[in-house]
Amino acid sequence: MLSNDPILALFADTEDENAWYRPLSTIPDIIRITAGRFLPVTLENMRGLGINPQLAVVSGALYPTVMPELIGMLKENFPGIEVLVLSSTFAPLPPIERLMADKVRHLVIEPVSPEGMRSPLLRAVNDLVHKRKWEIAKHVRKGTQIHIFQLASSADKEAVIGAVEGAVKGETAEHELLRQKGALLADEMLENAFYGAPRGADGGKIFRKGENRGLLPGEKIVFRFAFDGETLAMEMADSWGSLAPDMVMEYLARNQNSAGLPEEIGGRGLFIIWRFLDQLHVDITPGNRTVVGGHLHVSSPFPPEAPRGFHITITEKEKINGCTVTDHS
């Protein structure tokens, strides 16, 4: 029997629905809808029957190009609904500007053939339904060490980057590429925490990029990572909480459309992090904490030029559990 808070899955047409049958087939309490001119009536009837979907999975073939008004329609009928846009590695990235305008903060890029890897869509749906935040432990094998570095100054950066490089064992070209990506990602995350996050009362940056600095009283910068032989997962947490979901979306959109422009346009580091991770996660506690993290694989199912997904959430408390923890502070 279908519950009163099912998951909606909306598609452009039957062919579009069939393309996503496999990853959606194991999700319970799901209503599949092929959108058409009667969609407004269908949604109104659902609301009248007391059906209140908690999550809508929307195909990128439908929104935003074919039906740009869709998100407004969903939120009008179901004010508390979460929206996740679903695309694939071979499809163009949905315009971030439109996602930003509609405050869509969840985008999943599903590989055409995951080759035994757990579907990013299934993981995302499960996390959103159960309101779980991203955790390193969920993306590496059980029992994998999680390395924790609580940094005291910008001089600690090189030790952290070296630890990431040293943890990725393997002699193949793929392992070497992962080491290089891991080092770049760690560097960008640390740069953002040390120089991007600290903001004064006027919203301006407190520190100049590249200057040596220690932590201010009460400030915390913590870097975590784990490598299980296949997946490298990492996150950076700062105690500023100076990002906002709209800022993240603006940074991604601005940098995507400004190739070759100077770094001063802002958000370049976050954009690089997004483009290298298989999936970007940003969790913000406004005025208190920002966590930027994600994962990537030795044998990534994503071609280098493929678009990447993201999840941008606001939360009030941290949740860390699962694997063995090694503290290097």
Please report the beta strands in the chain, taking only residues with DSSP state E, as ranges in sequence order. 7-11, 30-34, 55-59, 82-88, 106-110, 146-150, 221-227, 231-238, 279-285, 289-297, 309-314, 325-327
The Cα 249–Cα 66 span in angstroms is: 22
DSSP letter, residue 43:
H
pLDDT of 25 higher than 90: no
pLDDT of 308 higher than 90: yes
pLDDT of 241 higher than 80: yes
Query: Mean pLDDT across the stretch 205-216?
Result: 92
Confidence grade of residue 300 (pLDDT, cut at 50, 70, 90):
confident
CB-based contacts of 162, cutoff 8 Å, min separation 6: none
Confidence grade of residue 327 (pLDDT, cut at 50, 70, 90):
very low
Of residues 303 and 191, the one with the higher pLDDT is 191
The Cα 95–Cα 68 span in angstroms is: 11
At residue 324, the pLDDT reads 53
Region(s) of the chain under CATH 3.40.50.2300: 7-129
Query: pTM for the whole thing?
Result: 0.90
Query: Mean pLDDT across the stretch 215-220?
Result: 96
pLDDT of 299 higher than 90: no
Of residues 267 and 290, the one with the higher pLDDT is 290
Confidence grade of residue 133 (pLDDT, cut at 50, 70, 90):
confident
The Cα 292–Cα 279 span in angstroms is: 11
Cα angle for residues 192, 197, 201 (degrees, 5° grid): 155
Instruction: Specify the range with the lowest mean pLDDT, choosing from 103-107, 209-213, 264-268.
Output: 264-268
Confidence grade of residue 79 (pLDDT, cut at 50, 70, 90):
very high
Mark out the alpha helices in 83-170 (DSSP H runs).
96-101, 120-129, 157-167
CB-based contacts of 214, cutoff 8 Å, min separation 6: 152, 153, 154
Region(s) of the chain under CATH 3.30.565.10: 136-327
What does 45-80 look like in DSSP terms, one character per residue?
Answer: HHHHTT---SEEEEETTTTTTT-TTHHHHHHHH-TT
Confidence grade of residue 304 (pLDDT, cut at 50, 70, 90):
confident
CB-based contacts of 271, cutoff 8 Å, min separation 6: 251, 252, 255, 256
Up-side HSE of residue 111: CA atoms within 13 Å toward CB?
Answer: 16
Query: Mean pLDDT across the stretch 75-83?
Result: 95
> What is the residue whose two structure tokens read 């939120």?
75
Confidence grade of residue 302 (pLDDT, cut at 50, 70, 90):
confident
| Mean pLDDT score of the chain | 90
| The domain made up of 136-327 is a member of CATH 3.30.565.10 | yes
Q: The tokens of 111 are what?
A: 């590989």
Confidence grade of residue 53 (pLDDT, cut at 50, 70, 90):
very high
Confidence grade of residue 68 (pLDDT, cut at 50, 70, 90):
very high
At residue 26, the pLDDT reads 86
CB 39, CB 8: distance < 8 Å: no
CB 151, CB 222: distance < 8 Å: yes
β-strand 221-227 against 146-150: which pairing, if any?
antiparallel
Fold assignment, 7-129: Rossmann fold (3.40.50)
The torsion angles phi and psi of 120, rounded to 5 degrees, stand at -60, -35
CB 157, CB 187: distance < 8 Å: yes
Of residues 324 and 208, the one with the higher pLDDT is 208
> What is the residue whose two structure tokens read 């039906």?
67
pLDDT of 261 higher than 60: no
What percent of the chain is modeled with pLDDT above 90? 74
108: nearest Cα among 255, 281, 314: 281
Residue 85: C-alpha distances to residues 103, 106, 252, 299 (Å): 11, 6, 16, 25
Length of the chain: 329
Confidence grade of residue 113 (pLDDT, cut at 50, 70, 90):
low
At residue 117, the pLDDT reads 62
DSSP letter, residue 90:
T
Confidence grade of residue 263 (pLDDT, cut at 50, 70, 90):
low
Give how far the C-alpha of residue 84 lies from the chain's centroid of Cα atoms, to the nearest Å: 11
